[in-house]
Amino acid sequence: MSTIRDLVAAAPVPTGKDVSLGHIFLYETMGTALLLLLGCGVVATAILRGSKGENGGWLLITFGWGLGVFVGVYVAFPTGAHLNPAVTLGLWMTDGITASQAFVYFGAELLGAFLGAVLCWLSFKEHFDAEPDPGKKLGVFSTGPAMRNYGWNFVTEVIATFVLIFWVLVSGGTPATIGALGVALVVIGIGASLGGPTGYAINPARDLGPRIAHAILPIKGKGSSDWNYAWVPVLAPLVGAALAALLFKSIDAADLIKNIKSAAS
């Protein structure tokens, strides 16, 4: 008798253009929501007053986000598990998906990120109430720079996102084709190595959806949502993704990868 593990292993990897718009919206919303629930949750665990994980440190946060990616990729496997508009843009520019699919991915990712942040707030409601620092409350939802300089903050996010998207494209095309563990480890690596200056958004939906949630939710003593900075973690990852896709196309990497796979088989 086949187990669920056997059926998943035998399932064809989603190709992107064959996936329906309805499935894209459903699975990407769910996957991104779980990513943000666990990602925002690990930040809340590490920094909010009274949490059993308070003062857990940067590595706890980076591993928690990586494992959130792991869960999200598995949940959104049927639609390629983009979970990130930067991934979607990279695949759109390299002809992995259609324009109509890209915009459905964008909408689902933003909605999922918003919902995940709301669920995190519900999970930590009493700790949000007990935390006196508005900056920590915002830090659970969205990123902010350690040293505010919009130009250099933008550069950091471009570079970090470039690493992620170029790796995704070279490694197999979508997070689902690469595998959840590989993507999770790369996100942990980016966070540990490049996350210090800006908190490594590397995902426009990951920052914008929760920032909107922070602005809307009745969070006690929450303070500003820092909209002056919000454009950096939205635009910079898209620029990084575009640069990664352009380099990928300029070096004919897709044809080389296809030839290598054909030779190996």
Please check whether residue 51 is in contact with residue 125, taking contact to mean a CB–CB distance below 8 angstroms.
no
Q: Which distant-in-sequence residues (6+ apart) come within 8 Å of 66 by Cβ?
A: 184, 185, 187, 188, 191
In a domain, 115, yes or no: yes
pLDDT value, residue 5: 39
d(CA 8, CA 10): 5
pLDDT value, residue 3: 41
Residues of the chain predicted below pLDDT 50: 1-13, 15
In a domain, 5, yes or no: no
Domain with residue 187: its CATH number is: 1.20.1080.10
* CB atoms closer than 10 angstroms to residue 74: 17
For helices 204-216 and 99-123, the axis angle rounded to 10 degrees is: 50
Please check whether residue 176 is in contact with residue 14, taking contact to mean a CB–CB distance below 8 angstroms.
yes
In a domain, 250, yes or no: yes
* pLDDT tens readout for residues 110-145: 999 999 999 999 999 999 999 999 999 999 999 999
d(CA 262, CA 264): 5
pLDDT value, residue 264: 57
In a domain, 2, yes or no: no
Based on the number of CB atoms within 10 Å of its own CB, is 156 exposed (0-12), middle (13-18) or buried (19 or more)?
buried
Q: Which distant-in-sequence residues (6+ apart) come within 8 Å of 40 by Cβ?
A: 116, 117, 120, 140, 141, 210
d(CA 233, CA 238): 9
In a domain, 87, yes or no: yes
End-to-end CA distance of the chain: give it in Å, rounded. 29
Q: Which helix (H) or strand (E) holds 203?
A: none
In a domain, 214, yes or no: yes
For residue 226, what is the DSSP state?
-
For residue 16, what is the DSSP state?
S
In a domain, 11, yes or no: no
Residue 69 belongs to domain spanning? 16-264
pLDDT value, residue 2: 40
Dihedral sign computed on CA atoms, order 117, 121, 124, 127 = positive
Q: How many domains does the chain have?
A: 1
Please check whether residue 141 is in contact with residue 232, taking contact to mean a CB–CB distance below 8 angstroms.
no
Please check whether residue 240 is in contact with residue 200, taking contact to mean a CB–CB distance below 8 angstroms.
no
In a domain, 9, yes or no: no
